[in-house]
Copies of this chain bind each other. A is one copy, B any other.
Amino acid sequence: MKIDPDSTVDLSAQIAKAIRDAIIAGDLIVDQRLPSEAELADHFDVSRPTVREALKRLAAQSLIRTQRGATGGAFVNRLRFEDAYAQQVTTSTLLLSMNAVSFDVACEARYALERACAPLSAERRTPDHLATMRAEIHRQGQPGLTDEAFCASDVTFHRALVDGAGNKVLSYQLAGAVEAMQPLMNMITFTARSREAIVALHTDIADAVEARDATKIDATLVKLEAYTRELAHSVVTARAQKAAEKEHKTA
C-alpha cells in the first residue's frame, strides 16, 4: 500500500483508496484488524489526523468499524445486506431528487424491476410474505390514514412481494428502486377513490401470489403502474392549472 505525496489529491483520499483497494483485492479480510492509527501514520509518513480522515471515509462506506480500548482499532467490516440496503436507498433517493428524474422514468424502472421478481415470488413466497401483504392491504383501507403512512404501507407491501422471491441479492437491488420512489409518491394526494382502486389492485396481487399465478401478478402490476402514472399526471395537470389561474389573477 503506497501513496504519492506529490499528487494534488488529498492525502487522506489517497490513503483511503489504498486501503479500500486492499480490501476489495482481498489483501485485508473481514474482521482483520488494521494497524493502529499511529502505525498507519508512520507507514504512510503522514500525521495521525490525516490517517483519521482516511479512516472516517472508509467508515462512511461501512468498509471498516472502529473500536476503542486496549484491544481496539479499526477492523474490516463485513458489509451486511441491511447496511447496503440503507446506503442504496439514500443514494437512489438523492440521485432521483438531484437530477430531477421524472416520475415516469422512475416509475417505469421500478415496475420493470418489480415485475422481474413476480415469477420467483409466485414460486417461493411463504405464508409470512402473504401475511405481510394482507396486513398492509388492511392498513391501507383504514380511514384517517395520512398520505405519508399510506405510501409507507405501500412500500412495505411491495417489499414483501419482492422478498417473496427469496433472493437476497434481488431484494437488495430492488430496495433502491422501490424506496427511492417514496418522495415522488408523497407528492401525490391519494383520494378515497384512488386508495380504493389501489387496494383493489393490491388485493388482486396478493390473491395471485397466493394462487402462485405469475401471469396474473405481472398483469396486475402493469395495471398498477398505469394507474400510478395516471394519478401522478393528474396531480401535475391540476398544479399547472392552479398556477395558470393564479397567473390570470395577478395579471
Could you tell me the distance in whole angstroms from the C-beta of A120 to the nearest C-beta in chain B? 7
Q: How far is the CA of A201 from the CA of B26 in the complex (A)?
A: 33
Main DSSP-derived SS at the A contact region: helix
Give the residue of B84, B106, B112, B176 whose beta carbon is less than 8 angstroms from that of A95: B84
**Interface residues in A179-199 (C-beta closer than 8 Å to B):** none
Contact residues in B for A110 (Cβ distance below 8 Å): 169
Could you tell me the distance in whole angstroms from the C-beta of A207 to the nearest C-beta in chain B? 23
Q: How far is the CA of A56 from the CA of B94 in the complex (A)?
A: 18
Closest B-chain residue to A63, C-beta based? B94
Contact B105 A112 (CB under 8 A): no
Q: How far is the CA of A165 from the CA of B177 in the complex (A)?
A: 16
Q: How far is the CA of A52 from the CA of B101 in the complex (A)?
A: 32
Task: Identify which of A13, A52, A95, A169 gathers the most chain B CB atoms within 10 Å of its CB.
Answer: A169
Interface size on A, residues (CB 8 A): 58
Contact residues in B for A177 (Cβ distance below 8 Å): 169, 173
Give the residue of B80, B101, B176 whose beta carbon is less than 8 angstroms from that of A173: B176
Task: Identify which of A97, A99, A113, A173 gathers the most chain B CB atoms within 10 Å of its CB.
Answer: A173
Could you tell me the distance in whole angstroms from the C-beta of A186 to the nearest C-beta in chain B? 12
Contact B96 A169 (CB under 8 A): yes
Interface bits A92-133 vs B (CB < 8 Å: 1, else 0): 111111110100011011101101110110000000000000
- Confirm or deny: A239 has a beta carbon within 8 angstroms of a beta carbon on chain B: no
Contact residues in B for A241 (Cβ distance below 8 Å): none
Contact residues in B for A24 (Cβ distance below 8 Å): 90, 93-94
Could you tell me the distance in whole angstroms from the C-beta of A35 to the nearest C-beta in chain B? 19
Interface bits A9-45 vs B (CB < 8 Å: 1, else 0): 0001100100010011010001000000000000000
Q: Known pairs A57-B59, A109-B169. 4 more at Cβ < 8 A?
A: A53-B56, A61-B91, A79-B91, A95-B169
Q: List 11 A-B contacts (CB under 8 A).
A: A24-B90, A52-B53, A57-B57, A57-B60, A60-B61, A81-B99, A84-B91, A105-B169, A113-B116, A115-B116, A116-B116
Which 3 A-B pairs rank lowest in CB-CB distance, beginning with the nearest?
A116-B116, A57-B60, A109-B169
